[in-house]
Amino acid sequence: MSIWTRISEVVAAIVAKGEALLSMFERRPAAPECSVAFTMAIICLAAKMAKADGRVNVSEVTAFRQVFQIDPRDEAAAARVFNLARQDTAGFETYARQIARMFADRPRILEDLLEGLFHIAVADDSYHEEEAGFLARVAEIFGISEETFACVEARLTSSDARDPWKVLGVGRDAAMPEIRARWRELVRAHHPDKMIARGLPVETVNLANARLAAINRAWDEISHRTRQLQPAE
């Protein structure tokens, strides 16, 4: 039985009883259960961010593909989980607080979760003011710094003016050795194997690969610009 089928059955039972989905987060999960908890967390918050049209649209399915590597056989179950999650009326801030407590001693997972929400927000190739406000508030509740939020936002929002220095979280006046050290630090911290070691589901490899690509692209761009500014011998 896949993770999506298991979650679908649990959520369906909760909704049938008229209980709030956030009750799933009342007890802090043990490490082996982290992958299921993470998946439920991102679905519950994403459901609050999506339009309550009662159905999963194409862009939302695309968003799931960006965050999770979904087997075609599990697509129906994943879509069902999302639709069921949207039937709950609890506010997103309540979910965010519960999730923040659940992962209080694992702040890196909260950053992973925020990044997954960003992927879903921009799945339709747009980034609305309302979505930015939603994500900023979630980050605040998660205890994520403004600097880290800016890095994630710079990595994931589509813009021709994307700032590679913001992506790496360094100042424009930083020396190349400092920037190189920061780039290497990010590559080590965000390698897919690290995410799996944190307890995230293996399906999140798409998220890890996209993150690494953005980090490496930012380093390449800064390196290229720096070389262009160096005087010719």
Domain range list for the chain: 3-229
Residue found by looking up tokens 């939302």 in the block: 60
Which of 21-30, 157-166, 188-197 has the least mean pLDDT? 21-30
Q: Is 90 exceeded by the pLDDT of residue 26?
A: no
For position 85, what pLDDT does the model report? 72
For 60-78, how does the pLDDT look when each residue is reduced to its tens digit (9 = 90+)? Answer: 666 666 666 667 777 777 7
The pLDDT score that the predictor gives to residue 143 is 96
pLDDT of residue 54: 45
**pLDDT(4) > 80:** no
Q: Contact, 36 vs 2, CB < 8 A?
A: no
Consecutive H or E run containing 183: helix 176-189
Cβ count near 73 (within 10 Å): 10
Mean pLDDT of the region 75-100: 76
This prediction has a pTM of 0.70
91 φ, ψ (degrees, to nearest 5): -70, 155
Q: Per-residue confidence at 49, pLDDT binned at 50, 70, 90?
A: confident
DSSP string, 8-35: HHHHHHHHHTT--GGGGGSSPPPGGGHH
Tell me the average pLDDT across 204-213: 77
Angle between helix 205-229 and helix 107-121 axes, rounded to 10 deg? 80
Q: Is the CB of residue 121 less than 8 Å from the CB of residue 131?
A: yes
Using one digit for the tens of pLDDT, what is the confidence trace for 7-19?
777 777 766 776 6
The band of 32, judged by pLDDT with boundaries at 50, 70 and 90, is: very low
Quote the pLDDT of residue 160.
47
